[in-house]
Amino acid sequence: MPTLNDVLVLLPEFYLVAAACLLLLADAFMKPAQRGALHWIAIVVLLVATYMVVAGQPDATVTAFGDMFVRDRTSEILKVFALLCTVLVFIYARPYLLDRKQFVGEFYTLMIFAVLGVMLLVSAGNLVMVYLGLELLTLSSYALVALNRDSPLSSEAAIKYFVLGALSSGMLLYGMSMVYGATGTLGLAQLHATATHGAMPHLLVFGLIFMLVGIAFKLGAAPFHMWIPDVYQGASTPVTTFIASASKLAAFGMAWRLLETGLGDLSPYWQPMLAVLAVLSMAIGNLVAIVQTNLKRMLAYSTISHMGYLLLGLVNAGPEGYAAAMFYAISYALMSTVAFGVIMALARAGFECEEIADLKGLNQRSPWFAAMMALAMFSLAGVPPLFGFYAKYLVLQAAIDAHMLWLALAGAVFAIVGLYYYLHVVKVMYFDKPVEGGADRSTPDMPMRVVLSLNGLALLVLGVYWGPLLGWCRHSFGIG
C-alpha cells in the first residue's frame, strides 16, 4: 500500500500533475484577452517545481512505491536542468506564438506533461516506470509537433515521429520483456544483482540489443536518427527547442538507468555497441550537416553528432564517464536553447528565419543577436574557452580512460570536420551582405531579449567557471 512517505518523495511530480490539470481548466474558462496570464503562471509553476526538487532533495537516495521511483542526486540534476530548459522555451516562445496566433493553453499543458515524463523517466527504478515516463514524454511530444494544424510540414513531421517512435518503443518493450524473461524481475536494482547470474545469458543479451535500439532512437544516435531532421524542421521552433534540450537530458537519464543501474555487469557487451553508435553518429551528423542549407536541419544533424560525443562518456562505463556524459548533456541543452532562441527572436509573422541565407549580414542589422548566435555556434563547435570545449574534452578523456584511444581520435577528427558548418554560419552573419527580407528584429520582446542574453553569456561564463557544475555532476555519481 502507498504510504505518506511515497507521496512526499514524489511531491514535485504530484505538484506538476495538479498544476497541469488546473492550467487546463483555467484555459477552458479564460477569455482570449486573459490568456496572456497563462504564460506567466506556467513559468511560475515550473520555477516552483524546480525549487521543490532542490529544496526537498534528501541527503541519501530514497525510493518510493516499491522501489519503482528513485530520488537521488543524479535525477535531481537532470530534473533541475530539464525544468529550467522548459522555462527558457516558454520565455522564448511567447512572441513567436503570438505572431502566428498559436498562443494556446494546450502548448503549456502539453509541455508540462512532457517535462513530467522527463522527471519520471530519470527517476525510474523499475522497467515499468521507464516505459511510463518515456511514453508520457513521447506522446506529449507527438501532440506538440502537430500543434500547428495549419502547417502540412508539421503534420507530416508528427506522423513520421509517431510511426518511428512507436516502432522504437515497441523494440524497447520487446527488449524489456526478454530481459524480464531472463531474470524474472522488473526492478533495475534487482536486475543488476541477477544479470550476471541469469540462467539464460543469451536471452539477456538479446534483450539488451533491443533496448539499445530504443535508447539510440530516443537519443537520436545514428543509424536510428532518421526522425530528427524532419521533426526539427517540421515542428514549430519552440517545440524543436524542447526536443533538442530537455528531451536529450531525459534520454541520457534513461540510458544511464537501463545500462548502468540495470545492466551494468553486462558492460563488456554494450560498450562496443555504444562505440559503434558513437562513431556512426559523429560521422553521419557532421558530414551530412555540411551540405544543409536549412538552419534547423543543420542543427538537427549537429544534434546527431553531439549525441555521438555524449555516447563517448557512456562508453567509459564508470563514474567519471557518466559524470562527463551528464556534463555534456547539460552543456548541449544550454547551447541548443541559445541557437534556437536566436532563431525565434529573429522570426516574425510570415518569416521563419530557418534558412542559413536568412542570416546574411545579421551583424549589420542586429549585432547583439549575431553575437549570441556566434557564441552558440562556437560553443557547439567546441572552441575554447566556451562551454562546449570543456564538455568535449571531458568525453574524449573518458573514451581514452576506457582504453579506446581510437574512439577519442575519431571524435577529435570529426570535431574538426564539424567546425566547417558552424563557422559557415558565423561567416554568413558577419561577412555576407544583408538581403531584403532577411533576419531583422527591430522590436524584440524585452523579457526574451534579457533571458536570451543571459543564456548566451552563460556559455562563456560556464566555459571559464565550469568547476562547480562538474563537481555537482561528479558528486552525483559518488566522486569527490
Mean pLDDT, residues 434-454: 74
Separation of alpha carbons 330 and 308, rounded Å: 15
How far, in Å, are 66, 287, 362, 430 from residue 366 at the CA level?
55, 30, 6, 11
Predicted confidence at residue 479, as pLDDT, reads 86
Asked whether the predicted pLDDT for residue 293 surpasses 60, the reply is: yes
Q: At what angle do helices 105-122 and 36-55 cross, to 10 degrees?
A: 10
Predicted confidence at residue 165, as pLDDT, reads 92
Please give the tally of structural domains in the chain. Answer: 1
Lowest mean pLDDT among 8-17, 70-79, 98-107, 128-137: 98-107
Asked whether the predicted pLDDT for residue 438 surpasses 60, the reply is: no
| More confident position, 204 or 44 | 44
pLDDT tens digits, one per residue of 119-167: 999 999 999 999 999 999 999 999 999 988 888 889 999 999 999 999 9
Percent helix / strand / coil, the chain, rounded to 5:
80, 5, 20
Phi-psi category of residue 185: left, alpha or beta, with phi > 0 → left and psi -120 to 50 → alpha: beta
pLDDT tens digits, one per residue of 246-276: 999 999 999 999 998 888 788 888 999 999 9
Mean pLDDT, residues 88-102: 87
Predicted confidence at residue 253, as pLDDT, reads 94
Residue in 137, 12, 9 with CA at minimum distance from that of residue 72: 9
Predicted confidence at residue 353, as pLDDT, reads 82
Predicted confidence at residue 196, as pLDDT, reads 61
The DSSP symbol for 434 reads P
Mean pLDDT, residues 234-249: 93
Mean pLDDT, residues 44-54: 95
Separation of alpha carbons 358 and 368, rounded Å: 16
Which residues constitute the domain of residue 48?
A: 4-476
The DSSP symbol for 439 reads S
Report CA Rg, the chain: 21
Mean pLDDT, residues 395-420: 94
- CA-angle at 85, arms to 62 and 147, nearest 5°: 110
Mean pLDDT for all residues in the chain: 90
How far, in Å, are 50, 127, 183, 329, 404 from residue 271 at the CA level?
34, 21, 21, 19, 10
Predicted confidence at residue 387, as pLDDT, reads 93
Predicted confidence at residue 105, as pLDDT, reads 80
% of the chain exceeding 90 in pLDDT: 66
Mean pLDDT, residues 307-311: 95
Asked whether the predicted pLDDT for residue 231 surpasses 60, the reply is: yes
Asked whether the predicted pLDDT for residue 30 surpasses 70, the reply is: yes
